[in-house]
Amino acid sequence: MSIIPSKTLIDAIVTGEHGDPFAVLGMHPAGPGGTWVVRAFLPSVDRVQVLHHDTGAVAGDLERIHPEGLFAGALDSQYRERFAYRLRVTRDGHTWDMDDPYGFLTVLGDLDVHLMGEGAHLRPYEKLGSHLTELGGVSGATFAVWAPNAKRVAVVGDFNDWDGRRHPMRLRGGVGIWEIFIPAVGPGAKYKFEVKDANGARLPLKMDPYSFATEMRPQTASLVYAENDYSWGDDEWLIGRKRHSHRRAPITIYEVHLGSWKRVAGQGDRFMTYRELAEELIPYVRDIGFTHIELLPISEHPFDGSWGYQPIGLYAPTSRFGSPSDFKYFVDRCHQAGIGVLLDWVPAHFPSDPHGLGRFDGTALYEHADPRQGFHHDWNTLIYNFGRREVANFLLGNALFWLERYHIDGLRVDAVASMLYLDYSRREGEWIPNQYGGRENLEAIGLLRRMNELAYTELSGAITVAEESTAWPAVTLPVYLGGLGFGFKWNMGWMHDSLRYIARDPIHRRYHHNELTFSLVYAFNENFVLSLSHDEVVHGKGSILARMPGDAWRQFANLRAYYGFMWTHPGKKLLFMGCEFAQGREWNHDAGLDWHLLDISWHVGVQRLVRDLNRLYRTLPALYERDSEAEGFRWIQADDSENSVVAFLRQGGPDTLPVVVVCNLTPNVRAAYQLGVPGLGFYAELLNTDAEYYGGSNVGNRGGVRAEPEPWLGQPCSLFVTLPPLSTVVFQRRVEDEPEAPPKA
């Protein structure tokens, strides 16, 4: 190639239209004589010289060959071999030296490119996106992005005046990945990708799909991030969680929306930061006794009102509460306090904001082109093309990213049902059947199975939880046995039935007894989590307390009895923030919780009860060891619909004592109520939701009841107990009490 390229090439460079700028810019052979030419596009620069990188000697002066700032020139004839060089630049009388991005070879290794082309790179985030690095002794940042149908892609940012002509990228043929190394770019630099579609039309500037940090909304730039910016202190936690069998462990989850747990009232009602939340939220959760915090999605999202469920920056913790380092600090402090962290993860859909993934390179790249497959009418969002290997790689890599880079203990996967069914919330003619004519989304099923395989093989001790609202079979069965492979599934049936029941006036409950008992028909089909989540306190549903019937006394008594039933029912537990102290109003994401209610004794009583339920649950293996096994539950009294009473045994391993639970869901006190129990002895009353300490009427059994040798309903012995009004009472035989041998039934 000659020193001065053709007018066509010059025009393509200065207008930012050239699809392969590395073929023109940088150092190239000038001809068969062994001399070299350097070309550089530097708008607003007066003079450019080429320096030998090692010696600092001037190797040549470049001539301006276009008024927009394209320079070119042959190097001194003494230089016969390619060498590392720098540019000495003069503008307005000021001179400085700089490294030329077009003087460096490829950024991505051939193996990485191959694996990403195959969709088999387990950690694509280590190569795509921006990364601070050093090449040839030069510090800067690499940038790489997948845009296979683009005519040209450039990095624009505050380091190049957002000028797309300055840093157009190199295309790695065959895989559609564009890359460049830009020297001197440091942490915190703002950038986006300027993409031109196949026809050369400039698209709205795109945020980096793999960016690790972003600007605070409403700004939308990605930020170059120093990845090794935090020193973890949770080794003991990570080692310890590997030893747990989560199915047999006590798990009680406090679900939190970080933006509205508490606000800083004295400073304009601003958000608390990750570090401030670490100082207040973590001690609170530990005091109340929850084992885990589950965060509503914290991936970067443009709209507060989506609560994070419409993320654009899937790899970036939202900047609303601080930096990525600050979020690592929060997770680290949770672990050091003995609290696990679960994260709501949203692989089902994404918003159509112009700076996001939608039509990223001018085509339906991440989403399906056909709206019958690629658009959610319910949420006005786009659906990932799960069958496209690069898209699946993007999502699978993201799951590992949170588990590895942020030490997250588990992912709760949102809207799984919308992924599994092609006809989800669609009428006839609005969806496309799979290749076998069915409604199952085979590509989504494959993605979820692979995600679970990776989570459980790559991260020992991590868990996954499905929010799956249908009766899809084997959600928590391992993949190798034909299941989806999740660790747990939210029990939506229990939630709907039990809330419907408890909202009824007690006088009518006798006619709907099955709403309380039906969940035990299928309670062991999956590994369940009983969830009273944010979804139950929004969109006009009111608070959990507000659903309770009757006057204030009965509302609080109903709520306490309901929580007692929930904590003793088989399944792990999840409670949304504010429900633990009976917030009366519906949740508002734009305001903090009503903490002033803790000045009122009834609300304090509910908080005390939740604390004691958590303590009891964690200390009695019978309440958690066999949560997912039929052997862990036995009815004592399932059919007393006339009195709206249920009673049951919870049983752990062979070395644990069973627990007796009885719920009286009417306001009537029932004296000498007969319960069958498995043996003689003194049964201590461990918890009574009607205790005065919780705000109740203090009806009870004076510490416990001694069993009588009278068989009852299949049990060899009987207790005659007092059932307080609207209550759940928990009994357990004392270990030190040596019972006589029970008579045969």
State pLDDT tens for residues 404-450.
Answer: 999 999 999 999 999 999 999 999 999 999 999 999 999 999 999 99
Count of CB atoms situated within 10 Å of the CB of 702? 7
Q: Residue 536 catalytic?
A: no
Omega before 658 within 30 of 0, i.e. cis: no
642's tokens: 């006339």
Mean pLDDT on 594-599: 97
Q: Name the active-site residue from 326, 467, 536, 612.
A: 467
**316-327 pLDDT, tens digit each:** 999 999 999 999
309's tokens: 């469920």
> Is residue 575 exposed (0-12), middle (13-18) or buried (19+ Cβ within 10 Å)?
buried
CA–CA separation, 45 and 62 (whole Å) = 11
Q: Counting every residue, how long is the chain?
A: 745
pLDDT at 686 over 70: yes
pTM over 0.85: yes
Q: Three-state SS for 220?
A: coil
pLDDT at 743 over 60: no
Of 8-17, 232-241, 393-402, 675-684, which range is least confident?
A: 8-17
Structural class in CATH, domain 630-733: mainly beta
Q: Which residues share a beta bridge with 741?
A: none
Report percent pLDDT > 70 for the chain.
98
Residue 591, pLDDT score: 95
Q: Residue 414 catalytic?
A: yes
From 102, 220, 112, 217, select the one nearest 168 (Cα to Cα): 102
User: Helix H segments across 569-600?
Assistant: none
Residue 736, pLDDT score: 64
How is residue 483 annotated by DSSP?
S
From 546, 516, 505, select the one nearest 667 (Cα to Cα): 505
CA-CA distances (angstroms) from residue 26 to 47, 80, 177, 236? 16, 16, 20, 51
pLDDT at 739 over 60: no
The CATH fold assigned to 235-354+361-621 is TIM Barrel (3.20.20)
Q: Widest CA span of the chain, in angstroms?
A: 109
CA–CA separation, 202 and 466 (whole Å) = 40
Whether the Cβ atoms of residue 551 and residue 557 lie closer than 8 Å to each other:
no
> Is residue 707 exposed (0-12), middle (13-18) or buried (19+ Cβ within 10 Å)?
buried
Mean pLDDT on 704-713: 96
Specify which of 217-231, 333-347, 451-465 reaches the highest per-range mean pLDDT. 333-347
Torsion sign over Cα 104, 109, 114, 117: negative
- The bridge status of strand 138-146 relative to strand 177-183 is antiparallel
pLDDT at 307 over 80: yes
Q: Name the active-site residue from 294, 332, 414, 625.
A: 414
Residue 744, pLDDT score: 44
Q: Which residue has the higher pLDDT, 31 or 236?
A: 236
CA–CA separation, 122 and 516 (whole Å) = 45
CA–CA separation, 651 and 524 (whole Å) = 14
**166-212 pLDDT, tens digit each:** 999 999 988 999 999 999 999 999 999 999 999 999 999 999 999 99
CATH code linked to domain 7-103: 2.60.40.10
How is residue 22 annotated by DSSP?
G
Q: Is 110-223's fold the same as 235-354+361-621's?
A: no
Q: How far apart are the first and last CA of the chain?
A: 100
Whether the Cβ atoms of residue 359 and residue 365 lie closer than 8 Å to each other:
yes
> Which amino acid appears at position 360 of this protein?
F
CA-CA distances (angstroms) from residue 495 to 409, 425, 433, 565, 583? 25, 21, 31, 12, 19
Residue 737, pLDDT score: 59
Whether the Cβ atoms of residue 589 and residue 259 lie closer than 8 Å to each other:
yes
The full set of domain ranges for the chain reads 7-103, 110-223, 235-354+361-621, 630-733
Mapped to the 3 state alphabet, what secondary structure does 251-280 carry? CEEEEECCCCCCEEHHHCCEECCHHHHHHH
CA–CA separation, 112 and 123 (whole Å) = 10
- Phi, psi (rounded to 5 degrees) for 685: -85, 105
Torsion sign over Cα 95, 97, 98, 99: positive
The CATH fold assigned to 110-223 is Immunoglobulin-like (2.60.40)
Residue 35, pLDDT score: 82
